[in-house]
Amino acid sequence: MAVIAVFNQKGGVGKTTTTHNVAAALAVMEKRPLVIDLDPQAHLTLSCGFRADSRHETISAFYREGTALSKLVQDVSNGMRLIPGHMELSKIDALFGKSVSISSRLREGLQESLAWDDSPILIDCCPMLGVLSLNAIFAADRVLIPVSADFLSMQGVDRLDAALNVLEGVLKRKIERKVVVTRFDSRRKFSHRVRELLRERYGDDLCETHISENVSLAEGPEQGKSVFDFAPNSQGAKDYMALTAELLEKGFIQ
Ligand SMILES: Nc1ncnc2c1ncn2[C@@H]1O[C@H](COP(=O)(O)OP(=O)(O)OP(=O)(O)O)[C@@H](O)[C@H]1O
Ligand SMILES: [Mg+2]
């Protein structure tokens, strides 16, 4: 079981798009990835074309009723598997925020019911460092950090580093990470500047591949499709395939 959390507490930087399309690229490679939607917005669930009739079919049931994670896995398109999210997840902080053991609950749940699964697992996080994102980071071997190529995203990088440094202290281990630039527009000077700044800061932890601004990446979710199903010849499909190949080659995804 190799688990990757896709996290950045800044909103709208491409976490869901990256989780969905890296997993879809892994599915094209027949690696049967599992994605977990750990965001009350449940955008990943929608993007996968899945509509949960009740929260009992979603990861909310794992937290609220202790349903085994293996019972919540749904087959979605082309060999991808999904544990759906639900807006009820927004109550998890209030319900369990004070429990000391809550941060490890997802890690324990994965070990209890999916330890046999050696396919890659990707967790889509919400844009906030609360109980849910802590669960994802505690459960993960590695963290993939999308940063969109704009000024405000760069402002959030300090906060992100500070948060991960605190968590490294709590976990007593290094949080292995890779940063990927998303929404890159080669015509904009600032896109290039963001890449330079991130290279200075993260060195080899910055992915060589960047994800371009591409309309197909924004349109696929409406139809419940990954970019490989929606527009397989688009730049977005090429970029996410290249990113996935890079992450596999560097052993970040196993
Ligand atoms: N490379 C891209 N090109 C064009 N549009 C993109 C690209 N990446 C993401 N988008 C669009 O930008 C918006 C935000 O992306 P996404 O939902 O993946 O971000 P997020 O970090 O998951 O957001 P949140 O913090 O709300 O969970 C979405 O409408 C998405 O379709
Ligand atoms: Mg999202």
The pLDDT of residue 49: 95
Residue 221 domain-assigned (yes or no): yes
Q: Which residues line ligand 1 (CB under 6 A)?
A: 11-17, 39, 41, 43, 127, 182-183, 211, 213-214, 217-218, 221
Tell me: pLDDT of 53 over 90: no
The Å distance, Cα 236 to ligand 2 centre, comes to 17
Residue 114 domain-assigned (yes or no): yes
Q: What is the pLDDT of residues 13-47, one digit of tens each?
A: 999 999 999 999 999 999 999 999 999 999 999 99
For ligand 1, atom 29, the nearest C-alpha belongs to 218
Residue 35 domain-assigned (yes or no): yes
The Å distance, Cα 85 to ligand 2 centre, comes to 11
**What would the mean pLDDT of 37-62 be, rounded to a whole number?**
95
Domains held by the chain: number: 1
pTM, two decimal places: 0.97
Q: What is the pLDDT of residues 227-253, one digit of tens each?
A: 999 999 999 999 999 999 999 999 999
Residue 19 domain-assigned (yes or no): yes
For ligand 1, atom 28, the nearest C-alpha belongs to 218
Q: State the residue range of the domain holding 87.
A: 2-249
The pLDDT of residue 78: 81
The pLDDT of residue 99: 84
Enumerate residues 6+ apart whose C-beta is below 8 A from 195.
Answer: 149, 181, 184, 206, 210
The pLDDT of residue 209: 98
Cα distances (Å, whole numbers) of residue 151 to 18, 84, 154, 196, 213:
20, 32, 5, 13, 15
Q: What is the pLDDT of residues 76-97, one digit of tens each?
A: 988 899 999 999 999 998 988 8
**What would the mean pLDDT of 159-174 be, rounded to a whole number?**
91
Residue 45: what residue type?
A: T
Enumerate residues 6+ apart whose C-beta is below 8 A from 46.
Answer: 221, 224
d(CA 104, CA 134): 8
The Å distance, Cα 110 to ligand 2 centre, comes to 22
Q: For all residues of the chain together, what is the average pLDDT?
A: 95
Q: What is the pLDDT of residues 185-203, one digit of tens each?
A: 999 999 999 999 999 999 9
Residues with CB under 5 A from ligand 2 (ion): 15-16, 43
Which ligand lies nearest to the CA atom of residue 13 in the structure? Answer: 1
The pLDDT of residue 97: 81
d(CA 164, CA 25): 27
Cα distances (Å, whole numbers) of residue 247 to 125, 237, 250, 253:
19, 15, 5, 6
The Å distance, Cα 111 to ligand 1 centre, comes to 30
Residue 214 domain-assigned (yes or no): yes
- Tell me, what CATH number does 211's domain have? 3.40.50.300
Tell me: pLDDT of 158 over 90: no
Nearest ligand 1 atom to the CA of 215 is 4
Tell me: pLDDT of 98 over 90: no
Residue 234 domain-assigned (yes or no): yes
Residue 220 domain-assigned (yes or no): yes
pLDDT above 90 covers what percent of the chain?
Answer: 86
The pLDDT of residue 244: 98
Residue 254 domain-assigned (yes or no): no
Which ligand lies nearest to the CA atom of residue 7 in the structure? Answer: 1
